[in-house]
Structure 1
Amino acid sequence: MMSTFTLSDWRDIRLVAFDVDGTLYSQRPLRLRMGRDLLIHTLAKRDWSAIGVVSAYRQKRERLAVEEVVDFDRVLIAETAKATSMSPERVQAIVSEWIERRPLRYLRNCLFSGVPQLFAGLERAGKKIGIFSDYPATEKLTAMGLAAHHVVAASDVGLLKPHAGGLQSLMDAASATAPQTLFIGDRADRDGVAGQRAGVKILIRSSKPIGAFQTFRTYHDPLFDPFMR
């Protein structure tokens, strides 16, 4: 277990960095809605290509993250194209539509309770709000009605989490040191490890304890009380 983050530690925090998917919004209802839409599309068009691409893309993305492949975007599209016997251009079009654009309409309704209030409170307190996501995040923030001072996606540095390059880039942009940074995520194996490598303070949103990391269940946890009034 890392050192416990307490209310008194907020005094030294300059940058609060957030992951997005599963951290700011619940992925389960989003996946159910997207699964429904994808199935309806597939049956109406009698075309299974979108389902095949989305499935292969996600599986390969997980592996490339573990292997910390440099320039992963190019490799990911090429490998997915090969696996689905499609052109890279067709794969990119399906990914852009089904993974990046179509989910946007549902995000606001999947937002975790307390997130808008926390963002507003951090802004009032003069804290820098950063986003460090494996996926493009700017349009997602807009769709959720949120704003951040600095946004870094994995594609900006060419490496997926748990590599800490994106988090370091975010700290550089915010002129924050590791002791001045708190990173909030939901995956210990990705967000947690990236935070450890960067030497920042870490909180993991989880309904269950995770041995090596400090967790919280909701954004109404007393840890966030100073910003929720």
Structure 2
Amino acid sequence: MDWNTVRLAVFDVDGTLYNQRRLRLNMACELLLHALCNRSLSTARMLSAYRRLREQLADDEVQDFEQVLLTQTADRCGLPPATVAALAAEWLERRPLRHIPACRYDGLPELFQRLRARGKRIAVLSDYPAQAKLQAAGLAADIIVCAGDVGFLKPHPRGLQQAMALAGATPDATVMIGDRPERDGAAARRSGVRALIKSRRPLPGWQTFATYREPLFTVRL
């Protein structure tokens, strides 16, 4: 990895900037308590349907997916689309924020600082709204692009291409850092961009790393 050639570092958010498994365990506890207090699993069922449909729309690369997602989830759960939107925003965007600081991966503030000190620009590319999550993690990006901004979820390359356009960076001067090869990695490859995948185990065909304190980020940068 020759960081001298990199002008733009693009980070995924969920699972890349913080431990998503730990955060989901915390949220599962909150959701269970909510279900017990309300004696209803309707919110849990709605969120499960919402997530499954979102993954399917990503696989199918449906354009302007947000309205389709709300409508189809509402139909499956027998709820108004406005209710689906409100519950998704509450449970997937607002409530997780207080857990993010404790789940943020070690070494990220220092990495962001080193990137900026060497003249690199930092972008965030997320399938969900990212500004509040980034702030909760105590991080800042020069460019933020979310799936809703471009109408496509990853692995469609449009979001990454938009980030590069905003930064004035070419694919050979860009690196995509994510945790899902089938989403982040595929978007990178389709854009001609190098990908670094966060994983505790090697993944054939991908350059991986386990922590942000590895020599990949500390010595060569």
The structure 2 residue matched to 1:96, chosen from 89, 92, 100, is 89
Q: Structure 1: how far apart are the matches of 2:99 and 2:61? A: 30
Q: Structure 1: how far apart are the matches of 2:21 and 2:195? A: 23
**2:37 match:** 44
**2:160 match:** 167
The structure 2 residue matched to 1:147, chosen from 111, 119, 140, is 140
**2:209 match:** 216
Deviation at 1:158, TM superposition (A): 0.5
Higher mean C-alpha deviation, range 45-54 or range 143-152: 45-54
* Helix, strand or coil at the partner of 2:148: helix
1:10 aligned onto 2:3: yes
**1:62 match:** 55
**TM-score of the superposition, structure 2-length normalised?**
0.98
Q: Structure 1: how far apart are the matches of 2:16 and 2:29? A: 23
- Within a 5 Å distance, the mapping from 1:120-159 to structure 2 comes to 120-159=113-152
Q: Structure 1: how far apart are the matches of 2:145 and 2:165? A: 11
Structure 1 stretches lacking a partner, 5+ long: 1-5
Q: Structure 1: how far apart are the matches of 2:136 and 2:142? A: 16
1:14-59: CA deviations, max 9, x gaps?
A: 0000001011100111011100001101111223221011100000
* Helix, strand or coil at the partner of 1:212: coil
Q: In 1, are the aligned partners of 2:124 and 2:143 still within 8 Å (CA)?
A: yes
The structure 1 residue matched to 2:187, chosen from 194, 204, 207, is 194
Q: In 1, are the aligned partners of 2:3 and 2:220 still within 8 Å (CA)?
A: no
Seq. identity, %: 51
Paired residue type of 2:132 = E
Deviation at 1:89, TM superposition (A): 0.6
Q: In 2, are the aligned partners of 1:13 and 1:182 still within 8 Å (CA)?
A: yes
Deviation at 1:227, TM superposition (A): 8.0
* Helix, strand or coil at the partner of 1:102: helix
Q: Structure 2: how far apart are the matches of 1:138 and 1:53? A: 24
Q: Structure 2: how far apart are the matches of 1:227 and 1:83? A: 50
Q: In 2, are the aligned partners of 1:184 and 1:203 still within 8 Å (CA)?
A: yes
Paired residue type of 2:28 = G
**1:30 match:** 23
**1:204 match:** 197
**TM-score of the superposition, structure 1-length normalised?**
0.94
Paired residue type of 2:59 = V
* Helix, strand or coil at the partner of 1:77: helix
Paired residue type of 1:138 = Q
- Report runs of 4+ in structure 1 exceeding 3 Å deviation: none
